[in-house]
Amino acid sequence: MNIDIQNTVNNWKLFTLTNQQNMSVSLLNYGGIITAINVPDRHNNIENVVLGFKNHADYTQNLNFLGAIIGRVAGRIQAATFAIEDQSYRLEANEEAHHLHGGAGGLHQVIWTAAPFQTEDTVGVALSHTSVDGEGGYPGTVEITVTYTLTNNNELIVDYVATSDKNTALTLTNHSYFNLSGNIGRTIHDHHVTIASDEFIELDNELIPTGNKLEVTHTPFDFRTGQLIADGIDSTFSQNIIASHGYDHYFILNPQQQEAIYVKDEVSGRVMTIKTNQPGVVMYTANNLTEGLELTEGTSKRYDGICFETQASPASLHHEGFPTVRLDAHIPYDKQTVFSFGVLLD
């Protein structure tokens, strides 16, 4: 196990965590951004499986949120407003009339206080930040710690812990774009995804939840036994078309399912399993990824990556019956998502 720490642009620090299987995870204290995850394929070729900028300075204009910690509220908040106990709060409208991913000054733009650590079989970095009362329009001073831990079992464990001194809204996630082909060898069309979910949230033309839950049965959103991402990209189903021909939807996870998400790429043989105690996940297939960005392995294009944003649902701020983003004062927020990497057996 090893931690390498380098100074990079703007006096940021780049931490590279390496385990005994030669898997490595690189992350910045700026935005808690994961810049690279290097894992072996079936032939033990170690390649990067997330999208990252070639030049770290480009993360200051990270409009696609590559690899970043997202908050205070991940996702879209309708009309950039919400209310708690009849007290209304106005947020920044940074996507048309709506609030997206904590606003332009959200947690993806923060320089976090970083504390690296190492044990016999883990290595990691704990990132901490205080978001003050009124920041971004949100109520409450919130103490946040996000911990990235790499194990010798090729697991990346992400722990989110927070407390607020006022009732507020909070749901944190990581916005990494995964591509298991390695070094963006191919788009994600042939990624085969399984999600333990019976329902997803319907979106309107502005990608705002309508308040309706839809059953996945007989739709391109039925990933319970697995399907190719291409099936949704090529679909004429209205919800895929609304999302610019792909997915940008919240799936409500079945609580009894421990391994909520399973992703495999047959060509490379790489597989990724996601476990979480979050109630759902937004799967985003980079339908609107900015093209022509200078990434580590070339220029970006649509469908270069797939995000699994484990979180509660911002729809709960305007509709009943959705996994809530409300966090009451002095009640601990404690969430975990585990990304495990392996290979298919031939």
Where in the sequence numbering do the catalytic residues fall?
Answer: 175, 309
Exposure of 42 in the CB half-sphere (CA atoms within 13 A): 13
**What radius of gyration do the chain's Cα atoms show?**
19
Quickly tell me which residue has 């696609």 as its tokens. 64
Spatial contact of 174 and 70, defined as CB atoms under 8 Å apart:
yes
CB 132: neighbour CB atoms within 10 A?
10
Quickly tell me which residue has 């991913």 as its tokens. 101
Buried b (16+ CB within 10 A) or exposed e, 320-341: eebbbbebeeeeebebbbbbbb
Q: Would you say the C-alpha torsion 165, 167, 169, 173 has a positive or negative sign? A: positive
Strands (E) located in 254-345: 259-264, 270-276, 280-284, 294-295, 298-299, 307-311, 326-327, 333-343
Please give the backbone phi and psi of residue 107, each rounded to the nearest 5 degrees, phi first: -65, -20
Spatial contact of 158 and 146, defined as CB atoms under 8 Å apart:
yes
